[in-house]
Amino acid sequence: MRIGIKDEGLKCEHCGAPITEEDMYIREINGTKHYFCCSHCADAYEREK
Ligand SMILES: [Zn+2]
């Protein structure tokens, strides 16, 4: 899947770390795509919801 995000302001929604296209980890939660720096942050975010 190609994403094409050129926005440099993208940050991990859990820890707030800046995300690069290489490090990007995307998880779809309740039909919405959320962006994280790693799978651990995605897991933690999902658990908190
Ligand atoms: Zn993170």
Ligand 1 midpoint to CA 17 (Å): 6
Residue 26 CB contacts under 8 Å (≥ 6 apart), including other chains: 3, 33, 34, 35, 36
- Burial label, 27 (beta-carbon count in 10 A; 0-12, 13-18, 19+): middle
Residue 25 is which amino acid? Y
Of 14 and 9, more confident: 14
Using alpha carbons, select from 32, 30, 6 the residue that is nearest to residue 19.
6
Ligand 1 midpoint to CA 39 (Å): 8
Give per-residue pLDDT as tens, 15-30.
999 998 888 999 999 9
- For the domain made up of 9-49, give the CATH fold: Ribosomal Protein L24e; Chain: T; (2.30.170)
pLDDT category at 5 given cuts 50, 70, 90 is: low
Give the number of other Cβ atoms within 10 Å of residue 11's Cβ: 14
Ligand 1 midpoint to CA 44 (Å): 9
